Structure 1
């Protein structure tokens, strides 16, 4: 099997198949590599993780979708095993035979008469005006053949550019997702730090009593203050962690006086 002719035939089919995208091409090339290692013998046994790694496909859903598309479009024959200990089988078709009838039917009828006319005109030095006009008509036909070959080369080049652009877009999306995750985790850590740093060290009952006595306020009120905020976890208004318990005690004293 001539793998160069096979790949040429494959890319000619891809160039006119509008349903395929760069991911399909990447997956097929990965399968072709397995086929090559198996000396082009069918079927080949594939591992999903290995094929995804070689084809640079990160999503399992995308992998299975592209594999089924290649099967339905006639590029491969996919036989899933549904057994985690046994690989699925894939049959690859030989596209090199598709090139032979095209080369014989298109190139030989066009090239052979061109050389015959050029030789006859080169030998006959006394060319008439009609012969001159026929010689000029040969130029666009040669250019047409060259243009056709150039179009095939451009199609393959465009496919390579599309695959490269698709890979760059995918990498850009992965970077954006990683940046979003890093920003969200940083914000979460910042919030946790603020909440943790804002929580005051809980005072002891003796410290509260001493503070109330210094402000000439009854010990009973100190006991009430301590019991109240101990029961709600030292939260101001039942929501906000207390930052300064002494300031809260001053408010307690003022409210008790009023």
Structure 2
């Protein structure tokens, strides 16, 4: 990975931090994207310490704010001409129905739409790489997901599982449609299930809700370092340089459910997403 530039979203903790650290250790220049500058500074110091590399940079970007994403992309493009790997790792779980700045249900807005816009804005830089890679972190939760075409922001009958599963299915459908559009280019798009990883994804920073569950379950789940292995594989492995549009678990291609292979839904989601983010 020496001389490669990799951007990792949600890099301040969990798998994002573990992925950033290991990529820096392998010689990549790592752009850590964090929503909070304060937490980001702490994270990048820790990543530098653990990796032994100073070849890292912090950029601030809120995946729930389309304006912030545009500023992030513009800032990156003002500094770098090429992007070798984009790892769309940031994610949220929301117990109650919450909205992003632009009025999207938060899980779909951040987990899917934010990354959709960021990827599209940086695609020209990925195209200039020797072999650009888009890596989307999904989840096995997609299996119970459905794209609610008549109510994508879940105004009716919201629940946490419904929202999260829809957003993770959206990650896969976005990956598959992106792979189709990338045919004939040097850029690939793949997604992954990291496994049951214990992170602070479901912990409410304001109320602390979920912290006790997090503590109780921790011994039974993968560590962030273990969970990051599939993302690292998709970002670095030479043998998959021409593999695109696939869903991986434990470094192996997995068979998807019919809903995750529904290209009509993938096209609908793509068209809807473009309209929502103003592309």
**TM-score, length-scaled by structure 2:** 0.21
Report which of the two structures shows the higher radius of gyration computed on alpha carbons: 1
- Larger helix fraction of residues: 1
Structure with more contact order per residue of length (Cα contacts < 8 Å, sep ≥ 6): 2
